[in-house]
């Protein structure tokens, strides 16, 4: 397939393709401390513009995204409805109506994961809920596999992290302090020490004041760039995809070779921390033929222009920035642009069941096959309501479910050595 794909590009594109990826291979030498951009200008939307099922329907290739490699709902029953008996995860939901920040007219779209998960849980008990469900809400915490904490931490950081005089402490910190006080007083926390609790802290700066106090919990994160391994790590916690901000590329009938741009990047070029690799690549690639490498922001029509650019490109760069991750990777997937990941520290969603080398690459072998594979897996990164089988919401719940046996093992071991009777 690799040989056939190379001939497919023709002699005019073969040389720049190998030249570009030779440069990218060399660039990995510089990535000892690389981080990816995710803390730029927050992208807010009104509640009325949040996409629902009518505009975020499951792609036709989503059913075959794993080739049978992913656990599916058990057979039997009506797969068009949420059947609690077939859910892979039972979740107890805390009532934090006095603890969580009020929604101030919008969401940070790329970090809106707690919104989608909370909505999915709340709807799981509804009689008119359409579509299958991976997780179901239970009223008795003793029946639950995990306890979900619906604290909108990313929203709290983006809206409440600044101190407003005459106050000397931010509302964000006060809310976190109140959350810690609430959680540690609950019987569910005392029963497990917090090990079976789930907190979404997708923005890299969210939960800064409380993460060290709540570290026994399972965090749902964008990456581990700003966490010590003792607080968050790939064995204990779950990496969730960003909500992409470009539009989903529906009804894409173009071919891979129809895309005129070889390599695409548009974003901040000068970044702190490990982001210096961006400017190194900028100087190497800015004058290359068929390469688009330029500065860009999310303001104005920046998102639309970036989406158009990705849709017309064969490969899209996902380069280290301030942290090890950014929504640029998921914008590329949604645009059917093969991602080229340039980062040492990045951890990827669902990587225990999904092989990213099949559709993300740093060398040009088998690109036709990779592009087809990319279009098959794009639905795994779509947030939808109601959630559909193997979309982003259900993939996250399944990732959580795969952590449950390890949680139970730790709890059982701790009880074996405890002299106190545990309230069951």
Q: Are residues 106 and 233 in the same domain?
A: yes
Let me know if residue 35 belongs to a domain: yes
Distance CA 197, CA 218 (A): 6
Q: Are residues 377 and 295 in the same domain?
A: yes
- pLDDT of 30 over the 50 cut: no
Q: How many CA atoms lie within 13 A of 227 on its CB side?
A: 32
The predicted structure's pLDDT at residue 79: 64
The whole domain housing 234 covers 74-241+385-411
Give the dihedral of Cα atoms 217, 158, 351, 392; nearest 10 deg.
Answer: 100
Residue among 136, 148, 141 nearest 73 (CA): 136
Q: Are residues 324 and 400 in the same domain?
A: no
Q: Are residues 184 and 113 in the same domain?
A: yes
The predicted structure's pLDDT at residue 234: 96
Residue among 250, 244, 252, 245 nearest 392 (CA): 244
- Least confident stretch, 90-94, 100-104, 277-281: 100-104
Q: Are residues 187 and 222 in the same domain?
A: yes
The rounded percent of the chain whose pLDDT value lies above 70 is 75
Let me know if residue 265 belongs to a domain: yes
Q: Are residues 85 and 234 in the same domain?
A: yes
Let me know if residue 211 belongs to a domain: yes
Let me know if residue 419 belongs to a domain: no
Q: Say which DSSP state 74 is in.
A: P
Q: Are residues 314 and 206 in the same domain?
A: no
152-170 pLDDT, tens per residue?
999 999 989 999 889 999 9
Q: Are residues 375 and 394 in the same domain?
A: no
71-101 pLDDT, tens per residue?
444 444 556 788 888 999 999 999 886 544 4
Q: How many structural domains comprise the chain?
A: 2
Let me know if residue 207 belongs to a domain: yes
Let me know if residue 314 belongs to a domain: yes
Q: Are residues 120 and 163 in the same domain?
A: yes
Q: Are residues 17 and 119 in the same domain?
A: no
Let me know if residue 422 belongs to a domain: no
The predicted structure's pLDDT at residue 173: 95
Give 408: exposed, middle or buried? Use CB within 10 Å, 0-12, 13-18, 19+. Answer: middle
Per the confidence metrics, is the pTM higher than 0.85? no
Arithmetic mean of pLDDT, 213-237? 96
Q: Are residues 200 and 234 in the same domain?
A: yes
Q: Are residues 161 and 305 in the same domain?
A: no
């Amino acid at each position: 397939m690799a040989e056939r794909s190379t001939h497919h590009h023709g002699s005019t594109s073969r040389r720049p393709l190998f030249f570009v990826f030779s440069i990218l291979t060399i660039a990995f030498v510089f990535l000892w401390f690389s981080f990816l951009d995710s803390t730029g200008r927050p992208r807010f939307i009104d509640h009325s513009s949040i996409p629902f099922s009518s505009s975020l329907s499951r792609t036709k290739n989503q059913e075959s995204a794993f080739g049978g490699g992913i656990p599916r709902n058990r057979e039997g029953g009506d797969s068009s409805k949420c059947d609690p008996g077939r859910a892979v995860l039972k979740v107890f939901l805390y009532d934090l109506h006095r603890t969580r920040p009020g929604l101030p007219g919008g969401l940070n779209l790329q970090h809106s994961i707690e919104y989608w998960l909370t909505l999915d849980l709340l709807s799981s008990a509804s009689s008119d809920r359409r579509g299958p469900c991976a997780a179901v809400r239970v009223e008795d915490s003793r029946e639950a596999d995990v306890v979900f904490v619906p604290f909108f931490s990313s929203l709290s950081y983006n809206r409440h992290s600044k101190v407003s005089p005459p106050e000397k402490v931010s509302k964000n910190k006060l809310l976190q302090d109140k959350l810690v006080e609430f959680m540690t007083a609950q019987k569910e926390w005392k029963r497990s020490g917090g090990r079976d609790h789930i907190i979404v802290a997708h923005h890299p700066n969210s939960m800064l004041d409380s993460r060290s106090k709540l570290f026994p919990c399972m965090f749902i994160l964008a990456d581990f760039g700003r966490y010590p391994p003792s607080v968050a790590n790939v064995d204990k916690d779950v990496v969730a995809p960003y909500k992409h901000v470009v539009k989903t590329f529906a009804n894409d009938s173009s071919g891979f070779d129809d895309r005129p741009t070889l390599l695409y990047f548009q974003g901040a070029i000068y970044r702190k921390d490990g982001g210096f690799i961006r400017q190194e690549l900028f100087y190497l690639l800015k004058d290359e033929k068929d390469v688009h490498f330029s500065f860009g922001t999310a303001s104005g029509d920046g998102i639309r222009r970036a989406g158009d650019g990705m849709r017309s490109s064969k490969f899209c760069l996902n380069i280290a920035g301030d942290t090890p991750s950014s929504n640029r990777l998921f914008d590329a997937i949604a645009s059917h642009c093969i991602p080229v990941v340039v980062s040492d520290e990045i951890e990827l969603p669902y990587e225990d069941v999904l092989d990213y080398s099949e559709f993300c690459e740093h060398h040009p072998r088998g690109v036709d096959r990779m592009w087809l594979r990319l279009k098959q897996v794009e639905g795994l990164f779509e947030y939808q309501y109601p959630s559909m089988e193997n979309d982003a919401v259900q993939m996250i719940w399944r990732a959580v479910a795969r952590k449950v046996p390890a949680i139970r093992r730790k709890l059982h071991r701790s009880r074996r050595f405890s002299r106190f009777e545990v309230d069951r």
